[in-house]
Amino acid sequence: MHSRRDFLKWGAAAGGGLLLPFDKLAAGAARVRPFQVPLAIPPVIKPVRKTKDGDFYVQTIREARAQVLPGPKTPIWGYNGMFPGPTFKVRAGRPVVVRRINKLKVPVSIHLHGAEVPAASDGQPDRLIEPGEAYDYYYPNPQDASTLWYHDHAHHKTSRNVYMGMAGFYYIEDDEQDELNLPRGKYDVPLVLLDRDFNKDGSLRFRDKVDQVLGDVLLVNGRPMPYFKVANRKYRFRVLNGSHTRGYRIALASGEPLIQIGSDQGLLNAPLPATSIPIWPSERAEIVIDFSKYQLGTEVVLHDAPNPNNPLEGEPIMRFDVVRDEPDTSSLPPVLREIERLVPDAATVRRDFTLSKDFDRNLWVINGKAFDIDRIDIKPRLGDTEIWTFINASDLPHPMHPHLVRFQVLERSAGQIGPGDVGWKDSVRVDPGARVRIIMKFEGFTGRYVFHCHNLAHEDHSMMGNMKVVRGDQPEQRRAAFEGGYVDPADRATGTFRCDIRT
């Protein structure tokens, strides 16, 4: 594990600007004290139409002003004008179409992070929605229950567009998870962690062409270090690291363990107690906190504890205020779901990816190559199992994310597999000078997808590659590709899908 010195050396903001006294921070941070504003919960978006085949949603991407800091409102770019955007709650196996209407002055492309979707709906960096135009994204939701999220993915502009507010939650729910009787409804709470810099007028201060996008103000659901009034019962929190660069190690300031029940791609096999849980950009961690052990009036602080050897030393994230006495009919079973472990011997392809900085061109590269939108770097076959090894030859961490496919972490060259690595994943941290091996099976769709570093400054400049998933040799593999709504990525049209829920 890593010390505070490591985090500071990397500048990866495990504490970031908040390690400084408030009077030495940027203008926005100087106005912020922890626990002064209530937590805001993003609303759940409702479909505008439901049919026997699925649900149809509409989102407008537009400028708006949000009350983020005390004082003037902050101009943002948001889905339906919200920061963060509204939360989707959909059912596994039930398709949806989301029409995105771009009313900004810049092009956008929306990626549903962690989703198994046709290539035409994956949010390709070059499949842009120009200002004044609209695009229909088709999401078949063939996955287990999981906490996904959606965000902008426009070529070379992802970092800026997401910084301005373009991100939101997307829940896939299923019957198997419902039967577990986990905390639900108002006791199932999304928490997206963000760090931002602000100008004196309250506007966001974004810096491009830097190796790290770090902010002095820590936000939860778009509010600075808020408080949240809770009852003395169990709550489920879906924590997303939506920051560009900063990694967190979430922990309770009291040192009591969190109970992790899920990671990027859904529930774990069993509840996992952990004193602290590392969570890096784009990763998710689902946790349960049982407030029944606290007396009414107790204040419970969640913080960023960068030093695992001293979990009591950390920077504040938010505070839970135990204020109500309520019954609790939820439960936390000893087994959450069965997870099939992928077997390394089944892998037919092994690939190595070296992550480094090209100082001559001032670019971040994979295997010495900067991203070329017209170059196909690898061609996985549908149905094949592959092992990828990420080798970090740079002095900064890289959270690596392949689109389309979920994976399991096999091995770390430095340190053991910890709470942040368990379960099915779609993003993985690769430390400086370290190697990480992951295993995956390509299923569902063919077409062009990308894999990249989710430090958005690195993604934009230009630590990303193209993969073209091709049909396998078996008839059932070819059939799966066709029935899944495959659209040739060379076709720039929206395409026609079998699911008749489009207008």
pLDDT in tens, 403-429: 999 999 999 998 778 777 989 999 999
Domain-located, residue 97? yes
Domain stops at, among 178, 196, 230: 178
Residue 465 belongs to domain with CATH number: 2.60.40.420
Domain-located, residue 331? no
Q: Are 194 and 297 part of one and the same domain? A: yes
Domain-located, residue 330? no
Domain stops at, among 146, 178, 210: 178
List the one residue out of 436, 392, 374, 146 whose CA is nearest residue 264: 146
Q: How far apart are the first and last CA of the chain?
A: 51
pLDDT at 28: 63
Q: Are 133 and 218 part of one and the same domain? A: no
In 37-145 the beta strands, taken as DSSP E runs, fall at 49-50, 55-66, 74-79, 88-91, 96-102, 110-113, 134-139
Q: Are 398 and 471 part of one and the same domain? A: yes
Give the chain's length.
503
How many domains in the chain?
3
Q: Are 427 and 368 part of one and the same domain? A: yes
CB neighbours of 428 closer than 8 A, spacing ≥ 6? 390, 399, 400, 401, 407, 409, 421, 436, 438
The single residue listed with the structure tokens 């939101």 is 168
Q: Are 209 and 304 part of one and the same domain? A: yes
Reply yes or no on whether the pLDDT at 229 is more than 90. yes
Q: Are 349 and 316 part of one and the same domain? A: no
Tokens of 131: 């200002």
Q: Are 205 and 73 part of one and the same domain? A: no
Reply yes or no on whether the pLDDT at 475 is more than 70. no
Assign 22 a pLDDT band (cuts: 50, 70, 90).
Answer: very low
Burial class (CB in 10 A: 0-12, 13-18, 19+), 295: exposed
Please list the helix, strand and coil fractions of the chain in percent, rounded to the nearest 5, in that order: 10, 40, 50
Burial class (CB in 10 A: 0-12, 13-18, 19+), 475: exposed
Q: Are 125 and 192 part of one and the same domain? A: no
Mean pLDDT of 309-337: 91
Residues 41 and 191: their CA atoms lie apart, in Å, by 8
Q: What is the pTM of this model?
A: 0.90
Q: Are 458 and 474 part of one and the same domain? A: yes
pLDDT at 26: 55
Reply yes or no on whether the pLDDT at 200 is more than 60. yes
Reply yes or no on whether the pLDDT at 443 is more than 90. yes
pLDDT at 497: 36
Q: Are 499 and 410 in contact (CB under 8 A)?
A: no
pLDDT in tens, 100-118: 999 999 999 999 999 999 9
Domain-located, residue 448? yes
Q: Are 277 and 409 part of one and the same domain? A: no
Domain-located, residue 101? yes
CB neighbours of 62 closer than 8 A, spacing ≥ 6? 77, 78, 80, 81, 103, 104
More confident residue, 477 or 121: 121
* Domain that residue 294 falls in: 4-35+181-324
